[in-house]
Amino acid sequence: MFSKILIANRGEIAVRVIKTCRRLGIKTVVVYSEADADSMAVEMADETVFIGPAPAAQSYLVADKIIAACKETGAEAVHPGFGFLSENAGFAQRCADEGIVFIGPNPGAISAMGDKIESKKFAQAANVSCVPGYIGEIADTAHAVKIGEEIGYPVMIKASAGGGGKGIRVAWNRKDVEEGFPAVRSEAKASFGDDRIFIEKFITSPRHIEIQVMGDKHGNVVALFERECSIQRRNQKVIEEAPSPLLDEKTRKAMGDQAVALAKAVNYDSAGTVEFVAGQDKSFYFLEMNTRLQVEHPVTELITGLDLVEQMIRSAYGEKLNIDKNLKINGWAIESRIYAEDPYRKFLPSIGRLVRYNPPAEGERDGYTVRNDAGVREGDEISMFYDPMISKLCTWAPTREAAIAGMGRALEDFHIEGLGHNIPFLAAVMDQERYKSGALSTNYIVDEFPEGFSGTAPTPFQTDVMTAVAVAMHRIQSTRLGQKPRDAWQVFVGKAEKRSVAVTASGHDLSIELNDEGRTLALDRYDWRPGSATFRGKLNGVPFTVEVRPANEGFVIRHRAAKRQVLVLTPMSAELHERLPEKEAADTSRMVISPMPGLVVSMDVVLGQEVKEGEQVCIIEAMKMQNIIRAERDGTVKAVNAKSGDPVAADEVLVEFG
Amino acid sequence: MQHILEELEIRRQRAREGGGEKRIASQHAKGKLSARERIALLLDENSFEEYDMFVEHRCNDFGMGDQRIPGDGVVTGWGTINGRTVYVFSKDFTVFGGSLSMSHAQKIVKVQRAAARVGAPVIGIFDAGGARIQEGVDSLAGYADIFMENVLSSGVIPQISVIMGPCAGGDVYSPAMTDFIFMVKDTSYMYVTGPDVVKTVTNETLTHEELGGARLHSSKSGVADGAFENDLETMTQIRRLVDFLPGSNREKSAIRESYDDGDRIERSLDTLIPSNPNKPYDMKELILKVVDEADFFEIAPDYAKNIICGFARMEGQTVGVVANQPMALAGVLDIDASKKGARFVRFCDAFNIPIVTLVDVPGFMPGAKQELGGLIKHGAKLLFAFAEATVPKVTVITRKAYGGAYDVMSSKHLRGDVNYAWPTAEIAVMGSKGAVEIIFRAEAGDPAKLAEREAEYKSRFANPFVAAQRGYIDDVIMPHSTRRRIAKALRSLKGKTVSNPWKKHDNIPL
């Protein structure tokens, strides 16, 4: 076996590889950029090599620096992780030339699969099913109709040069083609000056299903079942699972066989993924092959018990695959990608410092297993230079239902402060009936959150949890101040829900009677102390964790995607709360507000200027991305509160209109 | 006999009605609570003991003789906040617009005097139209009586003003002399002269909000120490503030049982200081991770954000935290920051509240605007305040402590009791670059040489050890142990007694 491996990557995948190496007794070398000097991977590695400035193009992507680091440290092999140099055939070749083992497929396999057209040709040759379509010159409408009939409706008529939603039509029947083809053609001509058109099968409500393959240098390839990655936002995978709720044994085998056939056709000799698009009718068509370890590989590991990084290392070392041919899928695994993005603000990136980072404990819990692949610790920075992923939270359980329930609980137990994160959004998906039913599609997020995400309304259980938690915290606080707590309270959960409660004696840690409903909430096993940001307990026997944040009045409590301000009030105070009229929200239409923290790159309006709705007001740079801020109404600029070069906070008022 | 007793209840009922149902409803419609409702929210349930509910005015001019309402526009008395006594007066806008008559003033003076006598805070709630013009000079005399009590009580008992409606003219000066002013957004305003007069005199057309709204005073003028959304939130937060404060300068603040281990280690603080010295970080993270239960009551959070002031607890004991905020103007000391900090330090010193100072200061703000505004004298206020303070003073320098600002920020030289620095501290006259440019002016044309000099200067002075060698810093501490070290320091200082030379009073550069 290798004695020392260099990891040409960063973050969680570097940590992930180090963990396997440690178990195998292999020494590790981690390369790092300026931004990662104090990273967890650097702390864990046996040796480290500095490779330059933060931008990847000047560090992680520079093959020369990686090769030099291998030589300097005597590393015999390189694990590229994913991204960066992982699918760079030139780098793989360079390693081979320098006598360093590239832990991944051979350069030939990488280049064969790296080219979209080339890979489709290989796929066709290997009898892998591809999306039916016609790429040649289409003479006229009649020809287009003929092609449509051959492929079978619906079909997509698409301008070769198309983009931005222009030059695309879906035809559901002959008439649609007769109308659509000339329309798309003239649109293409007008918009792109290129009227070449192609027609291919349109897959309604498609699903993204991929097959994990593993090969060795002795011609063996096995398929390690599928992963479904249909929950995506703008082509970015968000939630993955294995196996797929769509597939039956027959389809699984067919897909696996095709994937293996394709891999064998290119002499594939490492871990790889064959991606398919699947219809709801279980039809499936080859998309592309990724010649690397995939981000979502942990779900495959959880249902197979294999360590794919170990398999890659062994295979790279020249060992024969040692995987049981009769390997069966064991249980169900789900992965949620925790991103530094703010779901409440259109998922804008939200980089910054992890002021608090408390992931759920890994290992077995009641009925499910938690795995959290992360490369960060509390106090680390999610920087603008790299992928804004904070961690990959996985749960495993014997059934899909239990794995989803486990993921819901694990997300409850994940506490992050300092930046925006998508945990409430992920929790919302876990709570959706459609997700639970397995009716997935790559349109899922667009279908289910057409207006974006704004949290969910509390369910009756969540309202009960918030009520009980608020009363418990209130009691702990007032007892501490030496006050004899009263027993009867009015509890407001948000503005809509008002409940009259009474604390009663019982065998439970805290019993709260709901006066109007004749029910009692029994709260047990909680250990909250003032200052804690999370409150764990059991309500009527059901375990829960909520996030609690003191507000100017009461607490803001979040359970999964439901968040409410909760007040515990005396009857008199409750009456006064109801007496005061609801305050009108500040008229923000007269202001331009910074949607995120960043730097003002340019301020494009001046005092007294007439501005029309939609006109550019300023540019804010965040995460190296320039965001154009536009006026939401017509108006005259009354105040300009920021100038070029100023750092601004989220919600800061940049410009005011008269 | 029975009807005599009943008579009392009838009279009380009449007094409680104030200006009547209609006026109270109009108060509610404006988003404001009544004077009594506010007191009920502020104090512990059923703890209010009212004084002078039957007081009426004694004016007979301009038709006032026919209009008498018991209470005369202000509700006064005492009660408890979490069991501790406070005195309170609450102006009743529904009675003569809350305007101030001689009797009204006497009611207020009565609680002011009682509070000073027993050593309990006074909380004044303002929602009033100003002087009772019908009473003429009597009304002015009434104001002055209140002012006098404000001054005599200053530094003896905490005085808190809450502006919950109009507060104009003579009414503004009593709050101005108290320790803290809080306002309610959108429903309160305070100014010396209102929009009408301003229009006549300067021809400016301004709204109440533009002239004296909560946002203006809490972020720009610095008159208010905080602004809250509505009456309910405001009262909750005033209760929270009172929990931090002692009843008077004769006592130590109430100790609250702490659930937070004084020895708690915070590993993540080791990465708080960014590797790039010009990158800001949020000093509030340090405060929240160091103090008990992340419970911090910030004073004037929206004004002079380059300095953070507020109350917190260490092992249950109230402390005042003063900290430079690198996130705002790099934490520089300017006129506003100096005034804000000085006033807060003096409050803490007056009421035996230990001061924890967290330092990351690049210096005083340069520029014509600052100099013209009198930075010298305003900056000196903070210096003066730290120097004269005799309460326990614990200081931690996290990063920059440059120039005169180093001296100012509760340094050893100003009788700092325990002065710590993180290993990332740079205690120097100025930044390395600036220093080198002055010392080696002759080499100005040689950037390579200058860079070398800068590196040399940096390694010599850009660290805490030079200061530590001289004993100006008592120890260099690990960031993660900051809470433990501050807690231990404060424990050791429990018995501190220092007094300044006898004087009538000092002459701080006002």
Within 8 A of A577 by CB-CB distance, chain B residues are 232
Q: Is B291 on the interface with A (CB under 8 A)?
A: no
B404 is catalytic: yes
A580 → closest Cβ in B31, B269, B281: B31
Region A526-537 average pLDDT: 95
Distance CA B459, CA B432 (A): 9
CA distance A552 to chain B (A): 6
Domain, as residue range, for B455: 431-462
Q: How much is the pLDDT for A588? A: 63
Distance CA A64, CA A53 (A): 15
Residue B128 forms part of a structural domain: yes
Say whether the peptide bond before residue A154 is cis (omega within 30 degrees of 0). yes
Q: Is B44 on the interface with A (CB under 8 A)?
A: yes
Residue B502 forms part of a structural domain: no
Residue B39 predicted with pLDDT over 60: yes
Confidence of residue B216 (pLDDT cuts 50, 70, 90): very high
Task: Say whether both B87 and B216 belong to one domain.
Answer: yes
Hey, are the CB atoms on B231 and A580 less than 8 Å from each other? Answer: yes
Residue A170 near residue A155 (C-beta atoms within 8 A)? yes
Residue B358 near residue B283 (C-beta atoms within 8 A)? yes
The pLDDT tens digits of the residues spanning A444-497 come to 999 999 999 999 999 999 999 999 999 999 999 988 888 777 899 999 999 889
Hey, are the CB atoms on A573 and B232 less than 8 Å from each other? Answer: yes
Supply φ then ψ for residue A363, to 5 degrees.
110, -170
Residue A587 predicted with pLDDT over 70: no
Confidence of residue A625 (pLDDT cuts 50, 70, 90): low
Q: How much is the pLDDT for A645? A: 82
Mean pLDDT value across chain A = 92
Q: Is B202 on the interface with A (CB under 8 A)?
A: no
Query: C-alpha distances in angstroms, A431 versus A442, A451, A455?
Result: 18, 18, 12
Task: Say whether both B240 and B346 belong to one domain.
Answer: no
Taking Cα atoms as reference points, which of A330, A293, A302 lies closest to residue A395?
A302
Count the domains in chain B.
3
Residue A589 predicted with pLDDT over 80: no
Distance CA A506, CA A513 (A): 11
Confidence of residue A234 (pLDDT cuts 50, 70, 90): confident
Task: Say whether both B166 and B46 belong to one domain.
Answer: yes
Q: Which residues contact B446 (CB under 8 A, 6 or more apart)?
A: none
C-alpha dihedral (B300, B304, B307, B311), degrees to nearest 10: 0
Q: How much is the pLDDT for A654? A: 87
Residue B252 near residue B119 (C-beta atoms within 8 A)? no
Residue A309 predicted with pLDDT over 60: yes
Which of B230, B245, B266 is best to mutate for the A interface (most A CBs within 10 A)?
B230
Q: Write out A441-489 in H/E/C secondary structure.
A: CCCHHHHHCCCCCCCCCCCHHHHHHHHHHHHHHHHHHHHHCCCCCCCEE
Q: Write out B103-163 in H/E/C secondary structure.
A: HHHHHHHHHHHHHHHHCCCEEEEECCCCECHHHCHHHHHHHHHHHHHHHHHCCCCCEEEEE
Structure-model confidence comparison of residues B158 and B279, the more confident one? B158
Supply φ then ψ for residue B307, to 5 degrees.
-130, 140
Q: How much is the pLDDT for B454? A: 87
Return the bridge partners of B263, or none: none
Residue B179 forms part of a structural domain: yes
From B168, B214, B405, B421, the catalytic residue = B405
Residue B510 forms part of a structural domain: no
Q: How much is the pLDDT for B96? A: 87
Q: What percent of chain A has pLDDT over 70?
A: 98
Distance CA A108, CA A498 (A): 67
Residue A624 predicted with pLDDT over 60: no
B405 is catalytic: yes
Task: Say whether both B384 and B448 belong to one domain.
Answer: no
Which of A579, A587, A591 is best to mutate for the B interface (most B CBs within 10 A)?
A579
In B150-246 the beta strands, taken as DSSP E runs, fall at 159-163, 166-168, 180-184, 189-191, 226-228
Residue A160 predicted with pLDDT over 60: yes
Task: Say whether both B284 and B212 belong to one domain.
Answer: no
Within 8 A of B34 by CB-CB distance, chain A residues are none
Which residue of A lies nearest to B30 if distances are taken between CA atoms?
A: A581
Task: Say whether both B396 and B436 belong to one domain.
Answer: no
| Domain endpoint, select from B190, B209, B244 | B244
Supply φ then ψ for residue A442, to 5 degrees.
-70, -10
Residue A164 predicted with pLDDT over 70: no
Region B64-90 average pLDDT: 92
Q: Are strands A562-569 and A591-593 parallel, antiparallel or unpaired?
A: unpaired
Hey, are the CB atoms on A355 and B285 less than 8 Å from each other? Answer: yes
Q: How much is the pLDDT for B109? A: 98
Task: Say whether both B57 and B187 belong to one domain.
Answer: yes
Hey, are the CB atoms on B31 and A583 less than 8 Å from each other? Answer: yes
3 state SS of B365: coil
Task: Say whether both B321 and B351 belong to one domain.
Answer: yes
Handedness of CA A223, A225, A230, A234 (dihedral sign): negative
Which residue of B lies nearest to A527 if distances are taken between CA atoms?
A: B259
Task: Say whether both B440 and B478 belong to one domain.
Answer: no
CA distance A479 to chain B (A): 10
Residue B315 forms part of a structural domain: yes
Q: Is B37 on the interface with A (CB under 8 A)?
A: yes
A531 → closest Cβ in B259, B269, B280: B259
Mean pLDDT value across chain B = 93
Which residue of A lies nearest to B32 if distances are taken between CA atoms?
A: A580
Task: Say whether both B140 and B65 belong to one domain.
Answer: yes
Residue A630 predicted with pLDDT over 90: no
Distance CA A35, CA A53 (A): 7
Handedness of CA A154, A159, A160, A166 (dihedral sign): negative
Residue A170 predicted with pLDDT over 60: yes
Task: Say whether both B110 and B190 belong to one domain.
Answer: yes
Distance CA A566, CA A364 (A): 33
Q: Are strands B418-421 and B393-402 parallel, antiparallel or unpaired?
A: parallel
The pLDDT tens digits of the residues spanning A543-574 come to 999 999 999 999 999 999 999 999 999 999 99
Q: Is B272 on the interface with A (CB under 8 A)?
A: yes
Distance CA A412, CA A469 (A): 15
Residue B113 predicted with pLDDT over 60: yes
- pTM assigned to the model: 0.91
Q: Is B478 on the interface with A (CB under 8 A)?
A: no
Q: How much is the pLDDT for B409? A: 97
Region A294-322 average pLDDT: 97
CA A144 and chain centroid, separation: 39
Task: Say whether both B389 and B440 belong to one domain.
Answer: no
Confidence of residue A623 (pLDDT cuts 50, 70, 90): low
Hey, are the CB atoms on B40 and A572 less than 8 Å from each other? Answer: yes
Q: What is the CATH number of the domain that holds B182?
A: 3.90.226.10
Q: Which residues contact B451 (CB under 8 A, 6 or more apart)?
A: none
Q: How much is the pLDDT for B430? A: 82
Distance CA B407, CA B364 (A): 11
ipTM of the complex model: 0.93
Distance CA A406, CA A414 (A): 12
First and final CA of chain B: distance in angstroms? 62
Hey, are the CB atoms on B268 and A379 less than 8 Å from each other? Answer: yes
Q: Is B270 on the interface with A (CB under 8 A)?
A: yes
Q: Is A486 on the interface with B (CB under 8 A)?
A: yes
A580 → closest Cβ in B230, B237, B260: B230
Q: How much is the pLDDT for B450? A: 85
Distance CA B409, CA A19 (A): 47
Which uninterrupted H or E stretch holds B49? Answer: strand B49-51
Domains, chain A: 4-103 (3.40.50.20), 132-201 (3.30.1490.20), 207-448 (3.30.470.20), 460-577 (3.30.700.30), 591-657 (2.40.50.100)
Residue B232 predicted with pLDDT over 60: yes
Q: How much is the pLDDT for A586? A: 64
First and final CA of chain A: distance in angstroms? 73
Token pair belonging to B323: 């900290």
Confidence of residue B462 (pLDDT cuts 50, 70, 90): confident
Residue B159 forms part of a structural domain: yes
Region B446-453 average pLDDT: 86
Hey, are the CB atoms on B83 and A483 less than 8 Å from each other? Answer: yes
Return the bridge partners of A599, or none: A621, A647
Q: How much is the pLDDT for B441? A: 84
Residue B304 predicted with pLDDT over 70: yes
Residue with tokens 């009649």: A142
In A259-408 the beta strands, taken as DSSP E runs, fall at 271-278, 284-290, 332-339, 341-342, 348-349, 352-353, 356-358, 363-364, 369-374, 381-382, 389-397
Q: How much is the pLDDT for A162? A: 65
B295 → closest Cβ in A531, A573, A647: A531
Within 8 A of B40 by CB-CB distance, chain A residues are 572-573, 576
Q: How much is the pLDDT for A21? A: 98
Residue B500 forms part of a structural domain: no
Residue B360 predicted with pLDDT over 60: yes
Residue A226 near residue A284 (C-beta atoms within 8 A)? no
CA distance B251 to chain A (A): 18
Residue B160 near residue B124 (C-beta atoms within 8 A)? yes
Token pair belonging to B149: 């009590």
Residue with tokens 């002269």: B193
Q: How much is the pLDDT for A411? A: 98
Residue B325 forms part of a structural domain: yes
